[in-house]
Amino acid sequence: MKTLASITWAAVLVLGLASPSRAQTSAAELSKEAANPLADLISLPFQNNTDFGLGDFDRTRNILNIQPVVPLADGKIITRTILPVAWLPDLGAESGSLSTGLADTLFTAFYAVPAGSLTVGVGPALEVPTGGSTRGSQKWSLGPSAVALAQPGPWTLGILVNNVWSFAGDSDRADVNKGLLQYFIVRQLGGGWYVNSAPSITVNWQAESGQKWTVPFGAGFGKVAFLGKLPVNVQVGAYVNAVKPDSGPDWQLRVQFQALLPTSLFGGKKENP
């Protein structure tokens, strides 16, 4: 039921925004900016990830990531905070939930610099134990994060990596040592439309052999358009886990709604017509 609702919601949004607009050129430009995680652009994404096929009873897990992106220092520093609201099923039963609420919060800050044809950002990643005992690690974790990307023509090609280690928190809980690698490929199609692939490859270095990695493959599509004067980015994607822990999900449906806040909305410089 949740799957049908997510697909219907995404389809209505994408198709509803598909009509031609007088701001079509601006939508195309904003679509390329939205594909760049180091763009000097305030945004508020709501990314809903629904995981299917967890555990022996093929349970479903849902995590809504609220992840505001705020550039500082004239765009030289890009901050991103991920606030995950999780619905966790009871994997030991055919029905019922284990816990619902905020999971651990991840804050990253990138210092962005051009490097020839690339744009590179480096900075810290800090995980804050806001998830409690059932939705989080109860550990403070810190580590490096980096992103590099290029935007030749209609393409955006890049990679983002981070790894965090626990340094404080509940001494009775397991230490944290985990990483993320996300490559992203975006092809602009014109008029704000695009196709993309941005799987999140994760590793838990503390897990047993054969249980460390989750490696998904997949793709999606989306469109940047306008709700009144507000530019929004709507996308849908699906990712199959080719490698996963025994209790990990088989695949994921990703639906995202992102409000884009260019400076013109605040009386700053105008976007190109």
pTM of the model: 0.87
Residue 252 in domain: yes
Q: Are 142 and 126 in contact (CB under 8 A)?
A: yes
Neighbour-count burial of 70, counting CB atoms closer than 10 A to its CB (0-12 exposed, 13-18 middle, 19+ buried)? middle
pLDDT tens digits along 17-57: 444 443 444 889 999 999 999 999 999 999 999 999 999 99
- CATH code, 35: 2.40.160.40
CA 196 – CA 177 distance, rounded (Å): 29
Total domains, the chain: 1
Instruction: Find the helix or strand (DSSP H, E) in which 75 lies.
Output: none
Say whether pLDDT at 10 is over 60.
no
> What confidence category does residue 262 fall into, taking pLDDT thresholds of 50, 70 and 90?
confident
- Is residue 183 one of the residues assigned to a domain? yes
Greater confidence (68 vs 263) lies with 68
Residue 271 lies inside a defined structural domain of this protein: no
Residue carrying structure tokens 């606030």: 83
**pLDDT value for 252:** 98
In a domain, 188, yes or no: yes
- pLDDT reported for residue 123: 98
CA dist., res. 265 & res. 268, Å (int): 7
On the question of pLDDT at 235 being above 70, the answer is: yes
**Is residue 272 in some structural domain?**
no
In this structure, is residue 259 part of a structural domain?
A: yes
Q: Is residue 105 part of a domain?
A: yes
Nearest CA to 31 out of 157, 154, 147, 184 is that of 154
Instruction: List C-alpha distances in Å: 93 to 134, 211, 242.
Output: 16, 22, 25
Q: Answer whether residue 273 is part of any domain.
A: no
Q: Phi/psi class of residue 63: alpha, beta or left (left: φ > 0; alpha: ψ in -120 to 50)?
A: beta
pLDDT value of residue 166: 98
Give the domain range for residue 233.
2-266
pLDDT digits (tens, 9 = 90+) for 197-210: 999 999 999 999 99
